[in-house]
Chain A
Amino acid sequence: MTAAPTADEPLGPSPDATRTDRAADAPRPAGGPAPAGAGGPAQTGNGGAERTGNGGSVPAGNGRRRRAARPPNPFAVPGLRRDVDPLNPLRHRDHVHFYVPVDHTEESFEQCQEEFGDPSYLHHEGRLVLVTGERGCGKTALINRCAYWLREQLGKADLTAEVVDLTREARDNEAIPQRRGNVCRALMDKLFELQLLTTNLAYEMRDSPDDAYRNLPGCLERDQVLIVLLPPSADLTEELVYYGTRAPRRVVFFAETAYALPAEHRQALDRDSPVPPVYLHVSGFDHRHADQFAQHRLDRLPAGTLPRLAPTALEDFIDNGRLATIREMQWLLYGLYEELRVQDDRPDEVTWEHISRHFIRRLRDLEGQP
């Protein structure tokens, strides 16, 4: 086994140039990224791509010397504010092209398409779509993709669909009744703001979720469908039973949890929901997924623009079955290529040592060391 590299070694042979360019060019956003959705977490929307509009070329100004155009960061996704925010075609239509079929997300997406191939039953029933899987494996990105597709699909069926994003309306450390109340109030407030309520009956019941949901369909136009994105349920899987069994007609709830659904909750959902929920799952991540994801992103660049990954770089990096997530890959490769793209002297290919050195440098950031 080769010894692990140290953080002091630069990615390429010109460390000085690297530091100079990083300082003058596009510094990585503080704090590090978070994952992208399974199909890819996307990335931050910077990487130069968003800020510079063309991928990082910074024009000379104020008398400074003019430099060669920098290639864009292939792991940057337009429109995202942080390099690990999930892909979201609901806000950025182009994101549909950034999904990569890893983590079982493609199969889950197809399953969702199948379940809502004929959405006419929504006239009579509501439904819960539940996505389970480890944190950072693309649940949110999958939900965004499914919700985007469903909105389009409903439009084709002469239904008007509105996506209501309530994902930030409850916190982990709130009790279920409080979370339920927050979500209901936020939903009614947004519907009021969007002027989707034909009468105020449901709005007036915003403090009483049971009543509000029961009366909601009557307060909507007959062709109006709501796609409601719920806050992550974490370990409060009990609340999923509520949304599964109380989903009003013409309302589709999308929920996610990183915790396993206990058998009794699954049974209750299957037994008591008007229509059994759609269960989608995103699975674990290994180096083959990592390769597939990285190649997809790197293929977006013209050949020779930036070094490719060595064939076994990611396999070596997450070898021996170490737990990894697509969000980690997105964060790592985004940061790595953010450094590479501003270097004048780059390696021919990126090996696991490069990746490891980058990893360790970020570790030192955490330790508060230079």
Chain B
Amino acid sequence: MDAFDRDPGGEVNPYPSSAVAQIADAGSTVLTIPTAAVRRATAVMDSYLAAVQARPQASPGRVLAVVGDYGTGKTHLASYLIRHATKQSAGSVQSLHLNAPPDTFVSLYRAFADKLADRRELVHERVRGLYADILATELRTSRATAPLADSLLAGSIDPVQVVDTFSLPENQLLGRLRGRLRDVTDNTEFAQALTLLLRGGFEDAVWEWFTGRPPSEVLRERGITGTITGSEATALQAMGVFALLLGHGSRPFVLVIDELDQLLTAAGRREDEALDAFKEMLRVFAASSTFLILAGLPDLITTMRRDVRDRIGERVRMSPLTAREVHDYVLARQGGRLEPFTEQTVGYVVELTNGVPRGVISLCHRLWRRARDQGGAVTHPMVRQVAREIYDAGSAQNVRAEIRQVLVAVGYETYVPEYFLDDTPGGRVDYWVPIGRDDAGCGILLAGPLLEESDVAAVEHRARSVRAHRDCELLLVVLEPPPERFLPRIRDAVGREPLHYSPRSFADQLAVEFKAMAARLEERYPLEGPLASVAPHLSRLDRRQSATQHMLSLLTGSLEDLRVHNDQQLAAIHRELREVQRGVAAPTGDGTGRGELTALPVAVIELFDRAFSAVDLLTPAGELLRRAFQDDSGGRGARQTVRARIRAPEIQSAAGVAGLLDALVDAFGRALVEWYRPVGQRAGGPTPRERERLANMCGIFDAVYEYLPLYQVRSLRELVGPAGAARQQQEEAEDVLGDFSARVHRELLTALGTDQR
């Protein structure tokens, strides 16, 4: 969401401090510059909304690709389109936004399913809507029940409740629903699973399957045998199914898949089958009533297979902002005033940022504040200064780290950082890799923002200085794209295009560039002697092995870190819960109920300790809930556990049973204390009447205990205990409580020196 700063004088900075759009951006603070791309995309959305209204005469589905470089406003545009649709359709539009992972379509589906699982009501509402349609049609056949049909279609009454309460023929109606879902989704297993959502007790099993897990036994027994994430094809097919379902009816549905280029780059390296499935998914979306927005770098389109690309109905390319557009934007943000900017400084901002919206907004935000602080207007030097500050605060450290990793990964771990070819600052190479003979090598130069003539001149000087000393291949890495007008000079001095750092693609691009540079040097310096002919191969093999080992170590390291981190997190939660539980189970001696038990013989106290420990699951459950509110990794783990389990009826029943068991043990203990105090203080042991009273109390405990289904507590135990231990703990609890009263009875009489008959 846009964030606005308030300056010391109390005036609000009219420019958002964060120029990174979020799909959830909404409200009056968001301003969209009506560029050509925005106007075109809006027209596509309007035609979609009109088609939704006009259906079934028109097929409403649309697939829109939005491409552009970083910061050009792709996500902002998607967000704007959703807001626009919401406004146009009086709020009835539903939407989901995904960031595509740089992985497989299976991962994309998982991201989609996770989002959907958080908004299950979307799916449930659609299924219930179809069921309501079917029921309404049935009830309309009789004039007596026709009024009910309207309430059903209006959504003011739940069709499941109607069928249940009015004892309508549920099985036939669900059968019709299954058929309808099969028609809508063209998928028998999904039709079955979605129908099960309307029958009590299947929701968790169905959603687990939706989120990619293998079908549980109750689903397999009902004909659902496949795993959605079993292949990329099935995962994409499932997305199509949901598009058909969610787009069904008269309410618009918008799905945004952002950064899709990452995924397609990865997908492009794999078999065609996945792309065929993706192509089919696009067809299904277009044929459904869904508006699909695919956003990504320009590569999204250019690297896409042609037949797949043809499935994208509309394409919009985000273009740089012109000086006129930025001028209008400034006026709009500043209530019609241009000050503290001028036409010229606005133009300079556009030049330095190449018209990239994110850069424009960031710069304007800081310039406005700087001008306000200094009580003057924005000047050219001020623009340069602020731009430099922004870039300097950028990711120079990240760039260096990534360069080092790439050099090692491609087999050149012999690089030298901060290498000086002479004693002048101009002779510094940020990374030098010796290759071939005669001190030849590859050099990487890092440069800050190239905003003005002097910046470019410095780069030219460094490049020429290196070349004067060594035969080399050079690469210039820049944190921000230099203005267009400086590019020819840079190319001339360095020998190739500067490589612009972007977090997502830098490593890949650098690896490609560097290998090409190294290859050129190796060609110029072939080895001599008997091994010369195989030397290049050996060298490459050596580097490849080195790289492979490096990648393996990185990969396994990451996985291990991840696993260890998760395990540690969960184990830490469970460990703490157990400690809490032990703390409660221990006699407190604080005068409260359990403290009073200390009046009993030690052996009996131990029995009660074990009993309390066995049944007290509410305290650790409470601790788990408390942790769920913490803002750290432990809190995240706790929230995941709570969210996954707490709504289950069996957990809630178990909590009730656990509470009652705890209260029962507590009450039994208090009664025994009352009984024991007078008996223990006098010699001779209990009288026959007191013995009878003790036996009665044990009988009462047994009678009540019989009514409490201990097995139910296992669900709660699984919530607060480590996986796999619940059964064992359950058995221990049954051991403890199974003949608890008898043991207490025996221990008490033993402690009193009485025979136990």
Q: Could you list which residues of chain A lie within 8 angstroms of chain B, going by C-beta atoms?
A: 1-4, 6, 31-35, 84, 134-137, 171-177, 235-236, 238, 258-259, 284, 316-325, 327-328, 330-332, 352-353, 355-356, 359-360, 362-363, 366-367
Contacts and interface: CB of A to CB of B under 8 A. Distances in A.
B31 interface: no
B162 A366 contact: yes
B170 A4 contact: no
B167 A35 contact: yes
Given A317-B144, A360-B147, A367-B151, A325 B222 contact: no
A238 B217 CA distance: 13
Contacts of B157: 363, 366-367
Given A135-B170, A367-B151, A322 B200 contact: no
B167 A34 contact: yes
Nearest to A257: B171
Given A4-B146, A363-B162, 4 more contacts: A32-B165, A319-B144, A359-B148, A363-B157
Given A172-B199, A258-B170, A323-B168, A2 B139 contact: no
B158 interface: yes
A171 B202 CA distance: 11
A226 to B, nearest CB: 26
Contacts of B170: 134-136, 258
A4 B201 contact: no
Contact of B217 (A31, A175, A356): A175
Q: Which 7 A-B pairs have the closest CB atoms?
A: A173-B201, A356-B144, A327-B167, A175-B217, A320-B141, A328-B167, A258-B171
A194 B5 CA distance: 79
B218 A362 contact: no
Interface of B is mostly: loop
B111 interface: no
B165 A325 contact: no
Contact of B148 (A172, A175, A324, A363): A363
B138 interface: yes
Nearest to A314: B144
Contacts, number: 120
A316 B169 CA distance: 19
Nearest to A133: B171
B660 interface: no
B261 to A, nearest CB: 43
A308 to B, nearest CB: 18
Interface string B159-178: 00110011111111100000
Interface residues of B, number: 35
Contacts of A176: 217, 221
B201 A325 contact: no
B145 interface: yes
Interface of B: 138-139, 141-148, 151, 156-158, 161-162, 165-173, 199-202, 205, 216-218, 221-222
Contacts of A235: 222
A229 to B, nearest CB: 20
B669 to A, nearest CB: 31
A175 B218 contact: yes
A343 B591 CA distance: 62
A325 B144 CA distance: 16
Contact of B167 (A177, A316, A325): A325
B139 A322 contact: yes
A141 to B, nearest CB: 13
A317 B168 CA distance: 14
Contact of B144 (A4, A34, A259): A4
B176 to A, nearest CB: 10
A355 to B, nearest CB: 6
A355 B144 CA distance: 8
Contact of A2 (B143, B156, B162): B143
Residue picked from B156, B158, B162, B166, most chain A C-beta under 10 Å: B166
12 contacts: A175-B218, A175-B221, A258-B171, A317-B142, A317-B145, A322-B141, A323-B168, A355-B144, A360-B148, A362-B166, A366-B162, A367-B156
Contacts of B167: 33-35, 84, 136, 325, 327-328, 330-331
A352 B162 contact: no
B147 A173 contact: no
Contact of B168 (A172, A328, A352): A328
A360 B165 CA distance: 12
Contacts of A35: 167
Contact of B142 (A6, A136, A173, A322): A322
Contacts of B165: 31-32, 362, 366
B162 A4 contact: no
A323 B169 contact: yes
A362 B144 CA distance: 13
Contacts of A137: 169
